[in-house]
Structure 1
Amino acid sequence: MLKLVARLRWCLLVCLLVCLPCGSAMAADFVVIVSPKNPLTALRTDQVAAIFLAQSGRFPGGAEAVALDLPVGSALRAEFYNTVAARTPALMKAYWTKMVFTGRGQPPRELPNSAAVRKLVADNPAMIAYIDKSALDASVKALQVTP
């Protein structure tokens, strides 16, 4: 049994090492957005990840941060989490299962598409989300996300 577990871990490690460089080499088709009423202009990747992984409920200045998500199975969602948190959809599912089971957090609210996300973020300075670059307009502010 221990040998099987060791082999599975080894296979998972090899898969991650092969897949991660591919994901980080892709150009991101998403932008991280906040309301124009929010004073932020930039966040580091780790700060964005912390908010979306329920590790932080605050923006760097101390204001409340509420993350919004696109639906499970969305290609943009998979790209976002791969880029920002270095996690595949399967790893995200496992992460949220553990967080909910242990009572340490709830996943972000899901909305059906980038237009719905943009509309909700536009009037609420506490919200942060990601949308398709092509859905960006003047109703929201794109944040610069730095490594």
Structure 2
Amino acid sequence: MLLPLLTAFASADGHQVSLVAHPDVDTRTLTRDTTRAIFAMRQRTWPDGQAVRVFVLPSNHAVHGRFTKERLAVYPHQLQLAWDRMVFSGTGQAPNRVSSQPEMLERIATTPGALGYLEREYLDDRVQVISME
């Protein structure tokens, strides 16, 4: 009886986190390096020149942790350090922070050029999934 329960917890926590963008974004695929550069706020435009508006969940949010580790191959604190360095040195700014996945969905759906991430159950037709190479 305990084994199915453990399996249920493992699958509930193992939801895929998808990279999502505003529907007006022409880019359909990004490499891990480009995605990492965008989320580190080093790359500020899409390949077609449109400004990227990056949205992230709080650094201590479980989905943020999974996204950074699984999709970007960096730890959340490494990303935070990069943002802090840019803000304090005056060379850049931190991404837009949202408090929840429903808020992330709403902001990406209504902000041209927006990029963020969501678990699959939060996806709807107001945003597009960007695949990663």
What TM-score results when the alignment is normalised by the length of structure 1?
A: 0.74
RMSD: 1.7
| 1:51 equivalenced with 2:63 (yes/no) | no
| 1:60 equivalenced with 2:47 (yes/no) | yes
Flag structure 2 segments of 5+ consecutive residues without an equivalent. 1-13
Work out the percentage of aligned pairs sharing the same amino acid. Answer: 23
| 1:77 equivalenced with 2:74 (yes/no) | no
Structure 2 CA distance for aligned equivalents of residues 28 and 60 of structure 1: 29
| 1:130 equivalenced with 2:114 (yes/no) | no
Secondary structure at 1:120 match in 2: helix
Flag structure 1 segments of 5+ consecutive residues without an equivalent. 1-26
Secondary structure at 2:55 match in 1: strand
| 1:33 equivalenced with 2:17 (yes/no) | no
Question: In structure 2, what is the equivalent of residue 115 of structure 1?
Answer: 102
Aligned residue pair count: 120
What TM-score results when the alignment is normalised by the length of structure 2?
A: 0.81
- Runs (4+) off by over 6 Å: none
Note closer, same or farther for the CA distance 1:43–1:97 as it changes in structure 2 (3 Å cut): same
1:102-145 CA-to-partner distances (Å, cap 9, x unmatched) read 22222211111111111111133311111112111111100111
| 1:141 equivalenced with 2:133 (yes/no) | no
